[in-house]
Amino acid sequence: MGFYDFIDSILEREGGDKITEDTADPGGVTKYGISANNNDMTPESVKALTERDAIGIYLESYYNPSKCNKLPERLQASFFDAVVNCGISGGTKILQRAANNKNPKGKQISIDGRIGPNTIKAVHNLEVERFKAFRAKYYCDLIGKNPKLERFFYGWFKRALKA
């Protein structure tokens, strides 16, 4: 399993070629899930994206730097979806919190948002369902800090369970 096995489902969950300009979305103008504000792009360049462009951005700016391919196969699709939706650091922190919940004291890892050998080792026995639960918790915590985002919760929750 790898990037090309789950990129189509990512593009679908991200709305495909539909351009969104939701003022409540901190990412700004978005197409294929690629947002202007989170990718240092102009709104015009996002609107001009092709599917092939978006796939290239996901591979080079999200998949490769997240080291998704270093994780157990069972976690890769869900983790990558979290990286796309929450950023590399955000998705990794969710993964690290879930691992710390699973592993006994003495085997805890730093929640630093970086994938290194300790994180890779710590997630060896992590269940996908536990990761998904911690992803849902992340969204609840995020809304607690910024209640204006609550309108996105139902979609985020469904996504966390599905991905």
Q: Where are the beta strands (DSSP E) in the chain?
A: 30-31, 34-35
Residue 59's contacts (CB-CB under 8 Å, 6 or more residues apart) are 3, 7
Report d(CA 1, CA 13) in Å as an integer: 19
Rounded to two decimals, the pTM is 0.92
The Cα 63–Cα 5 span in angstroms is 12
Lowest pLDDT segment from 10-14, 23-27, 102-106, 133-137: 23-27
CA distance 63 to 109: 22
Q: What is the pLDDT of residue 12?
A: 94
Residue recorded with tokens 């730093």: 110
At 65-75, the pLDDT tens digits run 999 999 999 99
Cα separation of 143 and 124, whole Å?
A: 30
23 band by pLDDT with thresholds 50, 70 and 90:
confident
CB-facing half-sphere around the CA of 163: CA atoms within 13 A: 32
- Which residues lie closer than 8 Å to 101 by C-beta, 6 or more apart? 130, 134
